[in-house]
Amino acid sequence: MDNRANILHQALKLFATRGYDAVGVQEICDTAEITKPTLYHYFGSKRGLMEALVNEGCAVFMTELASTIAYSGDLPLNLQKVVSAFFGFATREPTLYRLLLALWFSPPSNEAFGVVAALHEKQEKMVVEMFARASDDHGNMRGRERAYAATFIGMINTYIGLALNNYLELKEAIIYQAVKQFSYGIYS
Amino acid sequence: MDNRANILHQALKLFATRGYDAVGVQEICDTAEITKPTLYHYFGSKRGLMEALVNEGCAVFMTELASTIAYSGDLPLNLQKVVSAFFGFATREPTLYRLLLALWFSPPSNEAFGVVAALHEKQEKMVVEMFARASDDHGNMRGRERAYAATFIGMINTYIGLALNNYLELKEAIIYQAVKQFSYGIYS
DNA sequence: CAATTATTATACCGATTGGTATAATAGAAC
DNA sequence: GTTCTATTATACCAATCGGTATAATAATTG
């Protein structure tokens, strides 16, 4: 048995369903059928466990996202690729994404917030950069790159949140709808 | 000094900035300069304190919201009124709204989630009802009232979340933008 | 003033929090 | 067979968790 992977797996389930603060280290150990020193041997601290969880779980998606933001001269196509990458990740890893969403809206002073804050900063920087390059073709966008990026990511997360609560499915049609809807806000 | 009101005030600040789970009852008492039996005399439990906080803080807004959903025959006007009510509430009570947002995305098994779940259900029911009446005039909407309501509220909360993090200001123009943006998703 | 009521302070409850010191055990290399 | 290293188990730490029993105090009423 791979204890490390098992700890990560059980911790993710517990954190996602009950919250980072509400789950104690002891409970994680009991669920994974190991003891506390074992957990601390692998991760050093509860926060270290959380960091491993988030970073290793998002690594593939982050490189995937990086490749979608290269501006191609066709902004709608870029937007569509970004939305598709987010939706795909949320579909593949719904439990992890639920945890990320909860932490994103948790108070900044919360220990677990710091872990995902860096992640979201990277995401935002990527999307900001995409809009910055697009504003070479669309001059009226210049100066609003940051607001656009935040609104765009916010809308994506709204759709994902609804999907996680079974209000809708993240099918192809929703991708187009999201892009169109957002684009309308820009070109208005 | 009104101890009850003071406890509510201090608890709101602590919960909003550090999270419901992360704040202990003792800390609330210390901040409000009272003792634990006093707090339990007024609110019975930590959850009871939370309920009083949310219910009393949202009472005015909820009745306000109820008056905006009476369908007037002009859907865009209705949508605008609803958005305006939400934005107004979030502007008047940013700390409370930050707390509500965090709890809305917290795991359902979390104690504090239950407190706001009822509130959000009421909000959703109101908006669903509005869309249901509007679908008498707009037949192509029928059957999607619940999805529309969730998307609409989700978009509103996205804008409020961005405003709370200083990405934008909830001015009049944003209300129109939100309504237009959402409407475009419907009539597409 | 005496009696009643509302509110408060002190001290405590068992359980749990994140984290660790120490030593026993398992496996591999020589 | 012995030594070395990686991993594990037992037991513990002070601090805090939500909640409460008991009794002193303050304000109100008769």
Interface touch A151/B157, C-beta < 8 Å: no
pLDDT band at A117 (very low <50, low <70, confident <90, very high): very high
Asked if residue A185 has pLDDT above 80, the reply is no
Residues with CB under 7 A from strand D: A 3, 34-38, 41; B 23-27, 36-37, 40, 44-47
pLDDT band at A138 (very low <50, low <70, confident <90, very high): confident
pLDDT band at B168 (very low <50, low <70, confident <90, very high): very high
Min Cα separation B147/chain A (Å): 6
Residue A134, Cβ density class (10 Å: 0-12 exposed, 13-18 middle, ≥19 buried): buried
A145-164 vs A75-92: helix crossing angle, rounded to 10: 40
Q: Chain A partners of B102 at a C-beta cutoff of 8 Å?
A: 105-107
pLDDT digits (tens, 9 = 90+) for A17-74: 999 999 999 999 999 999 999 999 999 999 999 999 999 999 999 999 999 998 788 9
Q: For B73, what's the count of Cα atoms within 13 Å in the CB-facing half-sphere? A: 0
Amino acid code (one letter) for B162: L
Q: Please state the rounded mean pLDDT for residues A76-99.
A: 97
CA separation for the pair B63, B137 (Å, rounded): 26
pLDDT digits (tens, 9 = 90+) for B108-157: 888 899 999 999 999 999 999 999 999 988 888 888 899 999 999 999 99
Q: Chain A partners of B83 at a C-beta cutoff of 8 Å?
A: none
| Residue with the larger pLDDT of the pair B72 and A94 | A94
pLDDT digits (tens, 9 = 90+) for B133-146: 999 888 888 888 99
Three-state SS for chain B is: CCHHHHHHHHHHHHHHHHCCCCCCHHHHHHHHCCCHHHHHHHHCCHHHHHHHHHHHHHHHHHHHHHHHCCCCCCHHHHHHHHHHHHHHHHHHCHHHHHHHHHHHCCCCCCHHHHHHHHHHHHHHHHHHHHHHHHCCCCHHHCCCHHHHHHHHHHHHHHHHHHHHCCCCCCCHHHHHHHHHHHHHHHHC
Asked if residue B181 has pLDDT above 90, the reply is no
Closest CA relative to residue B112, chosen from B45, B25, B32, B47:
B47
Query: Are the beta carbons of A86 and A41 closer than 8 angstroms?
Result: no
pLDDT band at A163 (very low <50, low <70, confident <90, very high): very high
The mean of the pLDDT values for chain A is 93
Interface touch A105/B161, C-beta < 8 Å: yes
- Return the pLDDT at A5: 93
pLDDT digits (tens, 9 = 90+) for B10-65: 999 999 999 999 999 999 999 999 999 999 999 999 999 999 999 999 999 999 99
Q: Which residues contact A26 (CB under 8 A, 6 or more apart)?
A: A36
Tokens of B38: 């006093």
- Return the pLDDT at B188: 56
Interface touch A154/B158, C-beta < 8 Å: yes
CA separation for the pair B105, B127 (Å, rounded): 20
Q: How many CB pairs under 8 A join A and B?
A: 109
- Return the pLDDT at A75: 93
